[in-house]
Amino acid sequence: MRNSLFRNPKPWLMLFTGVLFAFFLVGCGEDSPAAYGAHTTLTTSGPVADSERFLYYIILIIATVIFVIVETVLIVSIIRFRSKPGMPNPRQNHGNLRVEVLWTVIPALILFVILGVTIQGLFQVSTVPAGKSITVEAVGHQWWWEFYYPEYNITTADSLHAPVNTVVNVKLYSNNVIHSFWIPALTGKTDDIPGHNNTKWFEANQTGVYYGECAEFCGAQHAHMAFNAVIDTQDNFNTWVTTQQQAAVVPAPGSLEAQGAKIFGNACTICHGIVGHGVPGSDTKYIKGYDDPSVACADPNKACLVGPNLTHFAQRNLIAGGVLIHNRDKCLNPDNLSDCNLAKWLANPQGIKPGNDMNVNLSPSDIKALVAYLESLN
Ligand code: CUA
């Protein structure tokens, strides 16, 4: 019989639906690995995300009240006024001015309230507060994030470092496709559009690591274009900057690290840069990496790096565009790299992140030496 499911809801069906919804909700609370940081728009830390969260809650509360009222009326009507065998047709109405005015005016008022708080929020996030600030250029590549600090002339990848309680002015660049910069707990999404340089700002009020990701479909590995924001005290940030400005450590001649440096010079320098490291006998082509990527990538005469600058690779907490955690402690014993993510990545980059630009064919002994070298770049 038609609609019999709704006339006589089966207890097992209601139970199944309830359990299914519970599973969906559990999915919302999933914790990210610690290296990635908090991945939530509800636990915010900073004026931009706070303002966005406020708007979210206002709309959620209004929508929930409306939902409960409408569903209550609906369910009561279905149960109380359901037709039974032999019942006559109900009395037919046409038009009710009072009801029609009410259901036009009330939603209009609600929408005006939402419009008001939205406009207020727009002004809040467009007003950059006065005080301490730094500038970071966030360059979207396929598929990783490059961060360049024009005030300090340093470049890094996968982790955006910034001091706490400081305005971070972000300039967004891309020379390929559209990406979108998003740190859920700190700031909403803004697109990186080729040829249209967007800007945005955010500020973090608590030190910690915050998850970030690309929020615009940008190709096969869009889902693997993560990064994080490492928010530090001003002192720790200054130390980080000073370290980043140093040239790379040159390995001792004859060491495993020196072997790795040589392999790096042969196999990796088409795409990657390491500042300040010249391997004897090789040219200096790969001693680069501190060029402003927004300029270098726009100018065909400049060397825009295809892959990240690795000058201080050992300090990074994510690798391969955020697809792997940099578990450095598992990479320090050259005779046992079975759990080292860097070794796994070097052995099979196309298996881990199909379609990325890294096409290498390295022997286990090459990988051993390369891991030793890269992990020495403190
Ligand atoms: Cu870059 Cu999605």
Pocket of ligand 1 (CB under 6 A): 140, 143, 179, 214, 216-218, 222, 225
**Rg, the chain, Cα only:** 28
**What pLDDT, on a 0 to 100 scale, did the predictor assign at position 47?**
93
**What pLDDT, on a 0 to 100 scale, did the predictor assign at position 282?**
41
- Over the range 123-142, which residues count as b (16 or more CB within 10 Å of their CB) and which as e? eebeeeeeeebbbbbbbbbb
Distance between CA 169 and CA 132 in Å, rounded? 11
**What pLDDT, on a 0 to 100 scale, did the predictor assign at position 6?**
55
Crossing angle of helices 47-80 and 97-126, rounded to 10°: 160
**What pLDDT, on a 0 to 100 scale, did the predictor assign at position 132?**
94
Ligand 1 atom at minimum distance from 140 CA: 1
Ligand 1 atom at minimum distance from 215 CA: 2
How many angstroms separate the alpha carbon of residue 294 from the centre of ligand 1? 17
Given a contact cutoff of 8 angstroms between Cβ atoms, the answer to whether 157 and 147 are in contact is: yes
Instruction: Please name the helix (run of DSSP H) or strand (run of DSSP E) that holds residue 119, with its range, or none.
Output: helix 97-126
Given a contact cutoff of 8 angstroms between Cβ atoms, the answer to whether 275 and 247 are in contact is: yes
User: Considering only CA atoms, which of 193, 147, 134, 180 is closest in space to residue 305?
Assistant: 147
pTM recorded for the entire structure: 0.82
Residue nearest (by alpha carbon) to ligand 1 atom 1:
179
**What pLDDT, on a 0 to 100 scale, did the predictor assign at position 37?**
72
Residue 211 forms beta bridges with which residues? Answer: 228
**How many residues does this entry show for the chain?**
378
How many angstroms separate the alpha carbon of residue 216 from the centre of ligand 1? 5
* Preceding omega of 143 cis (within 30 degrees of 0): yes
**What pLDDT, on a 0 to 100 scale, did the predictor assign at position 247?**
81
How many angstroms separate the alpha carbon of residue 178 from the centre of ligand 1? 7
Ligand 1 atom at minimum distance from 192 CA: 1
How many angstroms separate the alpha carbon of residue 133 from the centre of ligand 1? 27
Ligand 1 atom at minimum distance from 222 CA: 2
How many angstroms separate the alpha carbon of residue 183 from the centre of ligand 1? 13
Given a contact cutoff of 8 angstroms between Cβ atoms, the answer to whether 156 and 123 are in contact is: no
**What pLDDT, on a 0 to 100 scale, did the predictor assign at position 252?**
86
> Which tokens is 228 given?
């994080």
State how beta strands 226-232 and 159-163 pair: parallel
**What pLDDT, on a 0 to 100 scale, did the predictor assign at position 222?**
93
Q: Give the neighbor-by-neighbor strand order of the sheet with 154-157.
A: 154-157, 144-149, 133-141, 167-174, 198-203
| CA 127 to the chain's CA centroid | 23
**What pLDDT, on a 0 to 100 scale, did the predictor assign at position 1?**
46
**What pLDDT, on a 0 to 100 scale, did the predictor assign at position 189?**
94
- Tens of pLDDT, residue by residue, the chain (378 residues): 455 555 566 777 778 888 887 766 655 554 555 667 777 888 899 999 999 999 999 999 999 999 999 999 999 999 988 888 888 888 888 888 999 999 999 999 999 999 999 999 999 998 899 889 999 999 999 899 999 998 998 888 999 999 999 999 999 998 889 999 999 999 999 999 988 889 999 999 999 999 999 999 999 999 999 999 999 999 999 999 999 888 888 888 889 988 998 888 888 888 888 876 654 444 344 445 567 777 777 776 666 778 888 889 999 989 998 889 999 999 999 999 999 999 999 999 999 999 998 988 899 999 999 999 999 998
